[in-house]
Structure formats: structure tokens, C-alpha cells
Amino acid sequence: MSITPQMGQQQFPSTSPYQQQGGSGSLEQLNQLGQQQPFQQLLQQMGGQQQTQQHQHSQQEQQIQQLTQSVVQQVQTQALAAGVADAFIDIVQPLPGQPQQIFLRIDHQFRSLANPSPQLHQQIQEAFAFGHQVIGVWDGQSPNVLRSVRIQRF
């Protein structure tokens, strides 16, 4: 005597909202499905993933804010200074392996600008020739190196 269930005798509850009421599902039936245990576990997992993603996102925002504050503090400690040049030395053909440089004498001290463009060479020469102001800008940590040059024409 073997006890084998026959397929026709077992009944399984329908889980599809479309099988009930002639193919049109309702919101209430979907809510009932969401209350079943496998779906509840899936919803909890998805909710946990969203919280984890939100937590990671807030950590990234905090890291970005800390990095921004660090950069701002570094810039603030590098006080910029500027002065008007009263003379210049233009090294057009440097020694092999050396960069092209322009030295501006500002406040009785020569400050260098490495690898200036050919246009800047010409503009500085013309500015001194025509009596225009050549203004050099440097930071407090490296006062002998110019960050930029501005030519003031009258």
C-alpha cells in the first residue's frame, strides 16, 4: 500500500491577484500579498539596503565636507602678497635641462616665474619699455616663486 498524493487532490492557495476576480487585481489583494512572510522578508531586506545606502551616502557627504574644510584652511594659511616690479631679467635660452624663467625684482628681491609663455615674455618686455606696471603675486610659504604676473596698462 503506497501513499502517494495525487496531483489533482492537492489544492494550493492562489497567490496571483490576477487569478482572482476575473483577472483584475485590486490594491487590497496586493496589500494582502505583501503581508505574507516571504514578501515581508523581502521588503525588510530592501528597506535595510536603502538604510545602508543612505548611511553610506551621508558618510560620503561628511568626508567631502571635511576635505573641503581642509583645503579652505590650507588656502587661508597661504597668504598671498603682491608687489610692483621695478626691473626684470628674462632668460630666453636657459642652460640645457633648465626651464625658461623670468625674474622680477620686487621690493629689492628677485622672484622667479618658471616656464612663462612666449606671449608673457613679450608682454613683460613691452610693459617695461612703455612704462606700464608689472605686478607679481606670490604666497607666504614660497616668496621667491611667483604664482602669477599682471600687467597694468594706463
**pLDDT, mean of residues 133-143:** 90
What local confidence, expressed as pLDDT, does residue 63 receive?
77
Q: What is the 3-state secondary structure of 101-132? A: EEEEEECCEEEEEECCCHHHHHHHHHHHHHCC
Burial class (CB in 10 A: 0-12, 13-18, 19+), 9: exposed
**C-beta separation of 136 from 80 below 8 A:** no
For 110, the grid coordinates are 628677485
pTM, full prediction: 0.50
Specify the higher pLDDT residue, 131 or 9: 131
Q: What top-level class would CATH report for the domain 80-152?
A: mainly beta
What local confidence, expressed as pLDDT, does residue 21 receive?
46
pLDDT tens-digit readout, 36-88: 566 666 666 666 666 656 666 677 777 777 777 776 666 556 688 999 999 99
